[in-house]
Structure 1
Amino acid sequence: MKFCPPGTSRYRTVGRSDREVDVLRQYSLMFLSGDSPPILFAHRGARAHAPENTLEAFRLGLKLGATGLESDLWMTSDGVAVLDHDGWASRLRRRRIDSVDAADLPSHIPRFSELLDLVPPGTQISIDLKDSSQPEVVLEEIDRSGMASSVWLCHHDLSELGKIREQHSEVRLVHSTDPSRIDGGLERHIANLRSTGVDCLNMRESVWKAGDVALCHRFGRCAFGWDAQHHRTIRRLLTMGIDGIFSDHVDRLTDALNEFVQR
Structure 2
Amino acid sequence: MIGFAHRGSPAPHQRENAMPAFRRALAGGAGGLESDVWLTADGVPVLHHDGALGPPGRRRPIATLAARQLPGWLPTLAAFYHELGASFGLSFELSLDLKGPDTGFAPKADSVIAVARAAGGSAAVGHLWLCGHLTQLADYRAHDPDVRLVNSASLEAVRAGGGPEAYAERLRAAGIAALNLRTREWTPRTAGIVAVLHERGLAAFGWDAQRTATLRRLAGYRLDAVYSDHLDRLVRVTGRRPGTPPTDDARPPSPA
> Normalising by structure 1, what TM-score?
0.80
1:195-251 Cα deviation digits (max 9, x unpaired): 001100011111113211111101110111111100100000111111001000110
Per the alignment, residue 135 of structure 2 pairs with: 159
Is 1:229 the counterpart of 2:229? The answer is no
Is 1:185 the counterpart of 2:163? The answer is yes
Measured on the aligned residues, the alpha-carbon RMSD in Å equals 1.5
Count of aligned residue pairs for this structure pair: 220
Per the alignment, residue 97 of structure 1 pairs with: 62
Distance 1:47 1:212 in 2: 32
Per the alignment, residue 42 of structure 1 pairs with: 5
Distance 2:95 2:228 in 1: 12
Deviation at 1:65, TM superposition (A): 1.1
Structure 2 CA distance for partners of 1:96 and 1:53, relative to 1, 3 Å: same
Q: Which moved more, 1:115-124 or 1:140-149?
A: 115-124
Per the alignment, residue 12 of structure 1 pairs with: none
Deviation at 1:153, TM superposition (A): 0.4
Distance 1:46 1:55 in 2: 11
Of 99, 108, 112, the match for 1:130: 99
Distance 2:90 2:74 in 1: 23
Deviation at 1:91, TM superposition (A): 4.3
Deviation at 1:257, TM superposition (A): 4.0
Deviation at 1:52, TM superposition (A): 0.5
Structure 1 runs not aligned, ≥5 long: 1-37, 259-263
Give the alignment of 1:1-263 within 5 angstroms: 38-49=1-12, 50-92=14-56, 93-117=58-82, 118-119=84-85, 120-131=89-100, 132=105, 133-145=107-119, 146=121, 147-155=124-132, 157-182=133-158, 183=160, 184-208=162-186, 209-257=190-238
Distance 1:54 1:100 in 2: 18
Structure 2 CA distance for partners of 1:185 and 1:238, relative to 1, 3 Å: same
Percent sequence identity over matched residues?
41
> In the alignment, is the contact (CA less than 8 A) between 2:4 and 2:31 conserved in 1?
yes
Deviation at 1:47, TM superposition (A): 2.6
1:114-169 Cα deviation digits (max 9, x unpaired): 222214232100001113343221121122122111000001x2121123211101
Distance 1:48 1:216 in 2: 34
Q: Name the SS for the 2:97 alignment partner.
A: strand
Distance 2:80 2:172 in 1: 29
Q: Name the SS for the 2:9 alignment partner.
A: coil
Structure 2 runs not aligned, ≥5 long: 240-256
Q: Name the SS for the 1:74 alignment partner.
A: strand
Q: Name the SS for the 1:41 alignment partner.
A: strand
Distance 1:166 1:181 in 2: 24
Q: Name the SS for the 1:134 alignment partner.
A: helix
> Normalising by structure 2, what TM-score?
0.82
Distance 1:257 1:127 in 2: 20
Letter in 1 for 2:230: H
Distance 1:114 1:98 in 2: 18
